[in-house]
Amino acid sequence: MKVYNLYLLFLCCLLNNPSCAQDYFYNNLYYDSDLLFEGGISLGAINCLTDIGGRTGNGKKFLKDLNWQNTKVSGGVFASLSYRYALGLRLELHVGAVTAYDSILKNDRSEAHSRYLRNLHFKSGITELLLLAELHPIVLLGMNKKVNTLSPYLVGGTGIFHFDPRAQLNGEWVALHDLHAEGQGFAEYPERKEYSLTQLNFPVGAGVRFECSAMMNLRFEILHRITLTDYLDDVSTRYIDPALFYKYLSPYHATYAVQLYDRKREIDPAMAAVPGEIRGNSSRNDSYFTMQLKLSMVMGRKRR
């Protein structure tokens, strides 16, 4: 019954009878419109949650395990269509870079020190195309008599993103995907499939829209990306026998793989990974998120 009532409220919001020629609430110099187009830019921060780095103790979930020091700049462009201030559809192109490193735990003396001794790191560029829906509940449910200049909203959708994890060796950033560091695609590990560098993600988040003027909107938005991969950082499961690199890879790639799959010896020459030893945690996929300001120009309102 509650769902039915909510559905009726939704229909009432969409089917009430505003005039496309009504005055715009912000000032009387413009006519308002049911459909408004926006084009804009975004700028903010990006960070990730992967198997590398993390906080003190055992690995925790979400923000409890986040290294804020790894935050990088990101940005993009977008175009959107909104209906009566309540519903929106947005297409967005976004670029940034994520990074993490175990050396951040150098002075930690908890269980996390084992991650420091693992001594892995990565960085990866992120390019994504997102299709997002905005829902402004205050407007949709008719909780305000007039459209407010300040409107919180929920946002979600789907996207496609490209990444390419790399690690530094002797001053060179080496692409990790082709090294199959955990035996992805090797016959000895049939459950470890090769991963694609282009994948789907599922963004979810929230924001607030502020109408600066009849022709300009400003948003602040936090958007978390749920992914289907645990290889954003090229780390997921257990160490393999390094002899397999020479069996399956070219001599060029095998030489890099042997040096990059296990980096414990760079801290202590006496340490070496044992095949089957834990390298990563495959129980949770990697993810990343952004916090951004978005500035847009509004199209669709005509001057009186």
User: Residues 202-248: pLDDT tens digits?
Assistant: 999 999 999 888 889 999 999 999 999 999 999 999 999 999 999 99
Helix (H, G, I), strand (E, B) or coil at 258: helix
User: Is pLDDT of 17 > 60?
Assistant: no
Q: Which fold has domain 2-303?
A: Porin (2.40.160)
What single-letter amino acid sits at 25? F
Q: Using CA atoms, how far apart are residues 247 and 235, in angstroms rounded to an integer?
A: 21
How high is the pLDDT of residue 55? Answer: 81
pLDDT for the residue numbered 125: 98
Bridge partner list, 256: none
118 three-class SS: helix
Task: Report the C-alpha gap between 93 and 71 in whole angstroms.
Answer: 19
Q: Which residues contact 31 (CB under 8 A, 6 or more apart)?
A: 20, 21, 22, 23, 24, 301, 302, 303, 304
Tell me how far apart the 2 most distant CA atoms of the chain are, in Å: 79
Structure tokens at 70: 């790894």
Confidence of residue 30 (pLDDT cuts 50, 70, 90): confident
Q: Which of 240, 268, 215 is nearest to 32 (CA)?
A: 215
The predicted pLDDT at position 60 comes to 66
Mean pLDDT of the chain: 88
Least confident of 2-11, 108-117, 144-153, 217-226: 2-11
List Cα–Cα distances, 182 to 81, 112, 165, 260, in angstroms: 44, 21, 14, 11
Q: List the domain boundaries for the chain.
A: 2-303
pLDDT tens digit sequence for 135-188:
999 888 876 655 568 899 999 999 999 999 999 999 999 999 999 999 999 999
Q: Per the structure block, which two tokens stand in for 26?
A: 């912000």
